[in-house]
Amino acid sequence: MHLRTLLLVLITLLPMPVHAAPTPTEAAAIAVANQNHTAYTLPLAKLAIAQHLHSIGVITHFGGEIWTILTLVLILQFGIATRIRNIAVNLSKNRWTQGYIFFGLALVLYTLLSLPLDIYSQHIERVYGLSVQSWPSWLFDQAKILGMTYFGGVFLVMLLFWLIRKFPRTWWIPLWAAVSALAIFIFFLSPILIDPLFNTFEPLANTNPQLVQQLEQVVARGDGIQIPPERMFLMKASDKTTTLNAYVTGFGASKRVVVWDTSIAKCTPDQILFIFGHEMGHYVLGHILSGMAFTVALLFVAFALGFYAFQFLLARFGKRWRIPTQDHWAALYVFALVLTVLSFFAEPIANTISRAQEHAADVYGEEVVHTVVPNPQLAGQSAFQILGENSFSDPEPHPFTAFWLGSHPPTWFRAAFAQAYNPWLPGNQPKYLKK
């Protein structure tokens, strides 16, 4: 199939998450919010820090992306990829062992090249009090991430090259299926096996039984979600961070509520309930399943485009890079380069979808805490104020960075919308819950 034809087919098959059009009440609140830039403000000293951190974040993000792409190109251009492959081949005649060695060396090289930027980012968070994690603890976390990446990644690498040898023209299709299944499996297991490796959890009822009762009231007002008290947990985030959060994670048997101890220390119960209501909205509104479907479809597009770009680069530069065939171990760097570039340009697409889902969850969160908290508008607006203050969220991010990097609507808009949205007034109508 011609590449252009394939692209058209893939785009039409891509299941974009569906979002209901704004109701008249919601649209009126959006119009008011767009003119209100005072619902979320920062004192001058914090404002300067927020703007500085925003600038650093933009530079490190785009700089990190460019650095990754540049290093991959240089590794290929100077034959380093082939030299790593030669080391693996010289150490063992067994192809499986070669794969373990090659991927291990490649991962160590990537880690060393990206470590300075990671250290700088952690340094900045420590300087401005966003992180209180010690350097030994941080390095231990990085080591755990490295170990999980190796043992998970080497499986995919070995599968990739086995599929290339078995299905030289269609290997990307079963690879896409395997990666998609693994991503869903990891999402399911994450709250049970992965999250406890990095943070300490305990039943929320042990320390905050009253909050559990209030969370149960919010759950009872929702539709289509069941989270019993034994699935509500406190996370001791204060060991590592000063930022705030409360969320729902996992799905099916692994689904649970998590409230950070920093949130309990700094937020009022009403604010925590609103934050939880927002997270609950993602499940009730089907964002988890639609998000998974969208991710799987986006991976399909990326792997399809990646296959053609991979073949083109090997045909055009394979001799120069000393990579004669697609099943050459060093070809992994070519595929990594292609996926990195595609991932970079997919960012604004994924973030545009994410912002729509986050806004819908904001609407749901404010509606679901009605009658549970006395003033949902104040609870929402003040929650965004304290969340923004503690994370130094820039009140006026540049429109381009908000578009490209923003997975959530700007904090100023979320606070202003929460303040303006009141579907319980006479003549107004809620969007998701019955009046």
> For residues 283 and 382, is the Cβ–Cβ distance under 8 A?
no
Two tokens, residue 319: 């001799």
Question: For residue range 104-161, what is the model confidence (pLDDT) as tens digits?
Answer: 999 999 999 999 999 999 999 999 999 999 999 999 999 999 999 999 999 999 999 9
Residues in the chain, pLDDT under 70: 1-19, 224, 435
- Say whether 18 sits in a helix, a strand or coil: coil
Number of separate helices (H) and strands (E) present in the chain: 16, 4
Q: Which residues contact 282 (CB under 8 A, 6 or more apart)?
A: 248, 288, 357, 361
Distance CA 312, CA 3 (A): 12
For residue 78, with 0-12 CB atoms within 10 Å meaning exposed, 13-18 middle and 19 or more buried, which class applies? exposed
Task: Kindly report the pTM of this predicted structure.
Answer: 0.91
Question: For residue range 197-239, what is the model confidence (pLDDT) as tens digits?
Answer: 999 999 999 999 999 999 999 999 887 678 888 989 999 999 9
